[in-house]
Amino acid sequence: MRDRLSHLLHEVDRVPTALPAPADVRRRGVRLRRRRQAAAGGGALAVLAVVAVGMAALSGGQERLDAPPAAPRDSTPPSASAGASPSPSADGAAPTAAPGGEELPAAAVTTVAPGSSVRFSSPSGNISCFLSGTGAVCEIAEHDYQPPPRPADCELDHGTMIELDQTGPARFACHGDTGFVRDDPESPLTAPGPVLAYGEQITNGIFTCTSRRSGMACATADGGHGFELARAGFRTY
């Protein structure tokens, strides 16, 4: 089958396809790099700006994995991040939606219909996940932890995406730049998933993910395998 597919697809090769000149692509790459660098600087400012919010969370006795959630690094320029940072309500409840993100239903636990899958993000926008009936994958945009060593056979990115399935402990994935996280606000190719508010859970089959101020946690129903992912650290089991 492969030979036949390849042969037929090579016919398509004869059809001219207009591609921009390499210099145009490089210019786009430079713009992306500058935006990423600017966003990283904005994220650091935002972390400082919401320390007060984080202190409230830390005093709640929850195990600390994460630094206080930063405002989405791609939603506002650095100069505006502090003013746009989410603020706790009078009772200390977490903000439930990030700019640009649609909010999931307000139930404490959302169950995904069998056979379906769902994308969702942490309220900070720093962690994006994909949950299907066969597993959960979460990717983090900005992190302060030291990632594990890259496997010798991994040519792509490593240390930012954790995957969990039915085969065993969660592990870091070897992956390319995915567009999974919102690293390019102007790109039409990326879109934020709905926000899973702090304290809420989403379940699909045997997999459940919980959004916490301390990070995103996903586990199997028996609790035997899972992971926690946060700006400051991670745990896989």
Partner 1 sequence: MSAPDDDFDALYRVGAPRLVRQLLPLVRDRQEAADVVQEAFARAYARWSTVSGYDAPEAWVRSVAVRLAVSRWRRHRNSLVAWRRHGAPDDLPGASPDAVALVAALRRLPEVQRVAVVLHHLVDLSVEQVAAETGVPTGTVKTRLARGRAALALLLREQSPSLGGPGA
Task: Please report whether residue 15 would count as binding partner 1 according to CB under 8 A.
Answer: yes
Q: Which residue has the tokens 């089991």?
A: 237
Q: What's the Cα-to-Cα distance from 202 to each of 47, 70, 160, rounded to whole Å?
A: 27, 22, 21
Q: In angstroms, rounded to a whole number, what is the distance separating the alpha carbons of residues 100 and 174?
A: 28
- Site track 28-57 with partner 1 (rule: CB under 8 A), x = hit: xxx-xx--x---------------------
| Beta-carbon count within 10 A of 201 CB | 17
Which is nearest to 75 in space by CA: 30, 31, 123?
123
Q: In angstroms, rounded to a whole number, what is the distance separating the alpha carbons of residues 136 and 219?
A: 8
- Among residues 92, 156, 199, 221, which is the contact residue for partner 1, using CB under 8 A? 156
Task: Please report whether residue 74 would count as binding partner 1 according to CB under 8 A.
Answer: no
Q: Which is nearer to partner 1, 54 or 192 (CB)?
A: 192
- Among residues 173, 196, 202, 209, which is the contact residue for partner 1, using CB under 8 A? 173
For residue 179, what is the DSSP state? S
Chain residues in the site for partner 1 (CB under 8 A): 1-2, 4-6, 8-15, 17-20, 22-23, 25-26, 28-30, 32-33, 36, 130, 134-135, 137, 155-157, 163, 165-167, 173-180, 184, 187, 189-191
